[in-house]
Amino acid sequence: MNDDDNGLYFIAGGTGAMGLEVAKRLRAGGAEVVLAARNETRLQKSASELGARAVLLDATHPESVAQAFGMALGNGHRLVGVVNCIGTILLKPAHLTTDEEWRTTMDTNLTSSFLLLREAARRMMTSGGGAMVFCSTVAAQRGLFNHEAIAAAKAGVEGLTRAAAATYARYQIRVNCVAPGLVQTPLSQFLTVNEAARKASLALHPLGRLGKPADIASAICWLLSGEQSWITGQVLHVDGGLSTVQAR
């Protein structure tokens, strides 16, 4: 975390497994956290349990993003950290992917990141900087079967991360990205509950296990920390070695 008593961390997708884990770690360190998500019931429940604040957010719509940041910062807090944990998993070859599936994949993963970046940068530029962390996937670097749409969207997130890091470095805004392998969450349950799919996925990861939300949250919080003030424009692979290692 950044060492700022008045600093606020904005977690988009804050009711998901990874977003919640990030929020828990930040709250444990005494940080002020705002959870942002679409499902109001889950949002209020999660925020109440964590002692965090809650704002409704549809990160694919500019007006909703602007309103969410306005509400989050309405009490005079300075925005010091933004995390986008919003995402989808679409495993289909291109010839079977519908136009709607393509648009949804791009909007949920890439458009949300752009809109959050734009709105956060406008605020951080005039308040002393901060840190942003976006989420990609190992499939953006390594060609994986049936990953065309999600790989394209997340590769866009990685390009966005590097360009934004260059643009906003002069304002002391750091922009980084984590790229997980397969993480066990409700979103990936359709893969992990199938024994054959699970074994195939395990075999791909050299460290011999699938990821946990804590693995990714730990990396995100590390990148948010003011101790990492000389790190920007990086894509950190947290993937059990899948992106670079073939163990056997």
| Residue 1 confidence class, pLDDT cut points 50, 70, 90 | very low
- Domain chopping of the chain, boundaries: 7-183+214-238
Residue whose entry in the numeric block shows the structure tokens 């809650």:
54
Whether 31 has a pLDDT exceeding 60, the answer reads yes
- Class level of CATH domain 7-183+214-238: alpha beta
Locate tokens 């997708």: which residue?
13
SS3 content of the chain, % helix, strand, coil (to 5): 50, 20, 35
| CA distances (Å), origin 231, targets 79, 80, 203, 227 | 19, 15, 32, 9
Output 74 or 229, whichever has higher pLDDT.
229
Q: pTM of the predicted model, to two decimals?
A: 0.95
Q: How far apart are CA 10 and CA 79, in angstroms?
A: 8
Write out the two tokens for 69.
């940041």
Query: Residue 3: what pLDDT?
Result: 47
Average pLDDT of span 63-91? 95
